[in-house]
Amino acid sequence: MHRTLRWHEVGVEKNLAALRDGLSRKVTALPEGRERALTARWLESVEELLRLIGSIRVVVRPAVERDIGFQIENEEMFFIAFFQPSTKNLFMEIATHFGEGGCALSPEALAEMAHLPEAAEALAWIGDAALKIGVLPEIWSPRLADAGTLSERRKAYESNANMALLCDRWGLYEHRIHFDPPVEKGDPGHVKGTLVEAVLGIVFLQCGMKGVARVACLLAPRH
Write out 116-152 in H/E/C secondary structure: HHHHHHHHHHHHHHHHHHHCHHHHCCCCHHHHHHHHH
Task: Tell me what pLDDT residue 188 has.
Answer: 86
Whether the pLDDT of residue 146 is over 60: the answer is: no
pLDDT digits (tens, 9 = 90+) for 80-138: 999 999 999 999 999 998 876 667 888 899 999 999 999 999 999 999 999 988 886 66
For 176-193, what is the mean pLDDT?
80
Give the pLDDT of residue 182. Answer: 66
| Contact assessment for residue 172 and residue 98, using Cβ atoms and an 8 Å cutoff | no
Write down the mean pLDDT value for the chain: 87
**In this structure, is the dihedral angle defined by the CA atoms of residues 212, 214, 4 and 11, taken in order, positive or negative?**
positive
Q: Is the pLDDT of residue 78 over 90?
A: yes
pLDDT, position 189: 83
SS3 83: strand
Distance CA 212, CA 206 (A): 10
The CATH number of the structural domain formed by 12-219 is 1.10.1520.10
pLDDT at residue 125, as a whole number: 96
CA pair distance 88, 94, nearest whole angstrom: 10
> What is the tens place of the pLDDT at every residue in 36-57?
999 999 999 999 999 999 999 9
Is the pLDDT confidence value at 23 over 70? yes
**Residue 2 pLDDT > 70, yes or no?**
no
More confident residue, 150 or 23: 23
| Angle between helix 12-29 and 34-55 (nearest 10) | 150
Average pLDDT score over residue span 59-79: 95
Percentage of the chain lying above the pLDDT 90 cut: 59
Residue 222 DSSP one-character state: P
Task: Judge whether 78 and 61 are in contact, CB under 8 Å.
Answer: yes
pLDDT bracket for residue 157 (50, 70, 90):
low
Q: What share of the chain is helix, strand, coil (3-state, %, to 5)?
A: 75, 0, 25
Mean pLDDT, range 184-207, rounded to an integer: 88
Instruction: Give the per-residue pLDDT at 166.
Output: 93
**Domain locations in the chain as residue ranges:** 12-219
